Amino acid sequence: MTFSKLNSILDDLQKNTEIRWKLICVSLIRYFNIHESLAFIVVRQVPDNQCLYEKKWPSGVSWDVISNQRTKHQQLINNVIVDAKKICVEYYKKFQGLISTLEIEQLKLDFIELSAQFQKLNSVFFSTDDSEEYSNFLHEFELKVLSEKEKYLFFKKEFENFQKQTQDVLQEILDEDYEYEMRSCGDSSELMAKIEYTEPFADIKILIKTMNAVLSNECQKDCGCHLPKSYWSSPQFTHKPIVLTPEMNKKIGQCFEELEELFE
């Protein structure tokens, strides 16, 4: 494997690890915020808890908490928030542990040292016994890089599972919107269904989508790669990859701060 290939692998691993770690933290704060904001919907989703509610019609919402059940209802809501925090902490520690096993930074330092040795030996590379020693060193380093790549691929798989699991849970909550509130409310349900449902923390969802696009090295909509080849002015063009704006990076920092406060 060539020097440039080894260096490219290390750079990609480092870049992708950093963006995935940011994605994990931003996703966790969204996961917690949605549970905290919509905990009452989570409680209503549990069939055994229907006894906590009584039907109110023709009010804007069809279910209210029974007066003598409010304490129990509030406790269940608090439990949802505590459980969401517990899950976030577990995910955070799990991925922190996985990332700590990666030794990309050290490998990059080793790579610099290896390159320096190559430059030193280059002029006499084919005429001294050092060439064999150097080849062995290079081979050992290559094995380290490939081993690091294997560890990263495991981390990547766990990350993808995490994204799917958290999104599935949140989607189940968000899908409730007004339909749950207005069921069995006669004509009012048709009227309420026309009200546009605003997903909470949609700005963080957009940020997550953008970060995924950056991770996938996707291009902006006006990039030449999206045009039919017949429209290209030349066979080559400069890609316009999607990037994180300063505002988005600021938002990522805010999410990190919220997450740190959550874990205190």
Q: What percent of the chain has pLDDT over 70?
A: 76
Cβ atoms within 10 Å, residue 185: 20
In a domain, 71, yes or no: yes
In a domain, 263, yes or no: no
3-state helix, strand, coil in the chain (%, to 5): 75, 5, 20
Overall domain count for the chain: 1
Token couple for 162:
């995490």
Query: Tell me, what's the pLDDT at 10?
Result: 83
Do residues 181 and 192 lie in contact, with contact meaning Cβ atoms separated by under 8 Å?
Answer: yes
Reduced to 3 states, what is the DSSP secondary structure of residue 14? helix
Query: Tell me, what's the pLDDT at 193?
Result: 54
H helix runs in 186-227, sequence order: 187-193, 202-215
Cross-strand partners of 53: 65
Q: Can you tell me the distance from the alpha carbon of 23 to that of 19, in angstroms, rounded to the nearest whole number?
A: 6
Residue 164 sits at the vertex; the CA angle it makes with 168 and 30, to the nearest 5 degrees, is: 70
In a domain, 242, yes or no: no
Largest Cα–Cα distance of the chain, in whole Å?
93
The reported pTM is 0.80
Q: Can you tell me the distance from the alpha carbon of 120 to that of 131, in angstroms, rounded to the nearest whole number?
A: 11
In a domain, 210, yes or no: no
Domain of 150, in residue numbers: 3-201
Tell me which amino acid residue 205 is. Answer: K
In a domain, 163, yes or no: yes
In a domain, 227, yes or no: no
Instruction: For residue 91, give the nearest of 169, 147, 204, 150 by alpha carbon.
Output: 169
Q: Can you tell me the distance from the alpha carbon of 27 to that of 160, in angstroms, rounded to the nearest whole number?
A: 12
Residue with tokens 């069921």, as numbered in its chain: 183
In a domain, 208, yes or no: no
Angle subtended by helix axes 3-37 and 246-262, to nearest 10: 60
Cross-strand partners of 65: 53
In a domain, 166, yes or no: yes
Query: Tell me, what's the pLDDT at 184?
Result: 42
Q: Tell me the pairing of strands 53-55 and 63-65.
A: antiparallel
Residue 69 is classified by DSSP as G
Residue with tokens 């608090």, as numbered in its chain: 78
* Ranges of the chain whose pLDDT falls below 50: 60, 126, 180, 182-189
Do residues 120 and 130 lie in contact, with contact meaning Cβ atoms separated by under 8 Å?
Answer: no
